[in-house]
Amino acid sequence: ILVGIFALLSALDQNSDYIVEKKIWKIYHQQLDIAKDPNVIPDKSFERVISGYKNIIGKYPNSRLTPGLYIRVGEMYVLKEDYDAAHKIFYKIIELYPNNKEISAEALFKVGKIYEITNNWPEASKVYTDIIQNYPLTETGLSTPIYIANYFKNQNEFQSTMDAYESAIRHYTGI
For residue 78, report the phi and psi dihedrals to the nearest 5 degrees.
-65, -45
Q: Burial level of 3, CB count in 10 A (0-12/13-18/19+)?
A: exposed
pLDDT at 13: 54
How confident is the model over 143-154, as a mean pLDDT?
A: 97
- Tens digit of each residue's pLDDT (9 = 90 or more) over 53-80: 999 999 989 888 999 999 999 999 999 9
The Cα 162–Cα 160 span in angstroms is: 5
How confident is the model over 29-36, as a mean pLDDT?
A: 90
Q: Give buried/exposed letters for 103-140 (b at 16+ CB in 10 A, else e).
A: bbbbbbbbbbbbbbeeeeeeebbebbebbbeebbebeb
Give the confidence band of 19 by pLDDT, cuts at 50, 70, 90: confident
pLDDT at 171: 94
Q: Is the pLDDT of residue 86 over 80?
A: yes
pLDDT at 7: 62
For residue 10, report the phi and psi dihedrals to the nearest 5 degrees.
-65, -40
Look at 35-39, 98-102, 113-117, 170-174 and tell me which has the smallest mean pLDDT: 35-39
Q: Is the model more confident about 45 or about 9?
A: 45
Q: Is the pLDDT of residue 12 over 90?
A: no
Q: Is the pLDDT of residue 169 over 80?
A: yes
Are 130 and 144 within 8 A, CB to CB? no
pLDDT at 43: 86
- Tens digit of each residue's pLDDT (9 = 90 or more) over 120-132: 999 999 999 999 9
